[in-house]
Amino acid sequence: MKRILITGGAGFIGSNLCDYFISKGNQVTCLDNFATGFRYNIEHLLSHPDFKLIEGDIRDLATCQQAAADQDYVLHQAALGSVPRSINDPITSNDVNVGGFLNMLVAARDSGVKRFIYAASSSTYGDSETLPKVEEVIGKPLSPYAITKYVNELYADVFSKTYGIECIGLRYFNVFGRRQHPNGAYAAVIPKFVIQLMNHESPVINGTGEYSRDFTYIDNVIQMNEKAMSAENKEALNTVYNTAVGDRTTLNLLVEYLKEYLSVYDPAIANVPIIHGDLRAGDIPHSLASIDKAKKLLGYEPSHDIKKGLQEAVGWYWENLK
């Protein structure tokens, strides 16, 4: 039984991590201010004897210290995601993603946490055109959000060297799956397209649709967090890892997959037309991860490729949101 603090634990990724680690017999504390997370994501856990909810904001150091007290591990997921959000409001994104991150690092250090594992981002690769993306080769950030996530990596590196706290960053690549929220101005592309198609509305693809992404199913992300927690080889610590599948899918092909899998439930979805709009500021053309480092040092093997992940995600959305 491990004592695990999951920040942002009511969010999409965080709530899935809460579920998983509770199911494995651990004591889990969730810290969330419900700015982007939802209480209903963790409602079923509130009565569990090994689950604790702290409603609070990582921008408050005292709250972070309260949450980190007596914890073995911190899985830091709390952040304001979205490139467009950061372009519209860079100050709040910085306050949460940099100031809040530093608060959590300080709290983890002061509480003697064994290991601090945090959600990094593929946006850190910025304008680097190298494919596949290798952890040690990055470019200049293309958005305020990307800057904040890169600063996280710099702070984690300094804290590991200066204070001896073990840190591992997981550079998430376009994570999708159950509980990812489909609504709002900054909704991720997969749940947004799924809901539109279920309602027989035309999804709008930014640009020609030939931009590509390494879409990564939530179960792969859970595996990487668990591998990062259990790593014992010193070479595996105090570094960052791509958290991805190692394959890329264009937006055009993504929509074709979604239409195919949703048509199982509603054949009319196959005939919903697609609309192409303007390119979005701050977007990189292509994203493809090398996962060799994670395979070598953590023993990572993705359980879900894009097709298997989409089929499971579509089934969840149809059952829960139709």
93 alpha carbon, distance to own chain's centre: 16
In the structure encoding, which two tokens stand for residue 309, read together? 């992940």
How far is 168 from 8, CA to CA, in rounded Å? 17
* Distance (Å) of CA 165 to CA 8, 64, 132, 138, 287: 21, 16, 30, 24, 31
Are residues 228 and 241 in contact, defined by beta-carbon separation less than 8 angstroms?
Answer: yes
Annotated catalytic residue, options 20, 145, 172, 211: 145
Cis check for the bond before 132: say yes or no (omega within 30 of 0).
yes
Active-site residue, 145 included? yes
CA 122 from chain centre, in angstroms, equals 10
Beta strands 249-250; 212-213: pairing state: antiparallel
Are 242 and 122 spatial neighbours (Cβ–Cβ below 8 Å)? yes
Q: Which long-range contacts (CB under 8 A, 24 or more apart) does 87-96 make?
A: 87/143, 87/144, 87/145, 87/281, 87/282, 90/144, 93/144, 93/145, 93/148, 94/144, 94/147, 94/148, 95/59, 96/58, 96/59
Nearest-5° angle of CA 304, CA 309, CA 311?
Answer: 135
Catalytic residues: 145
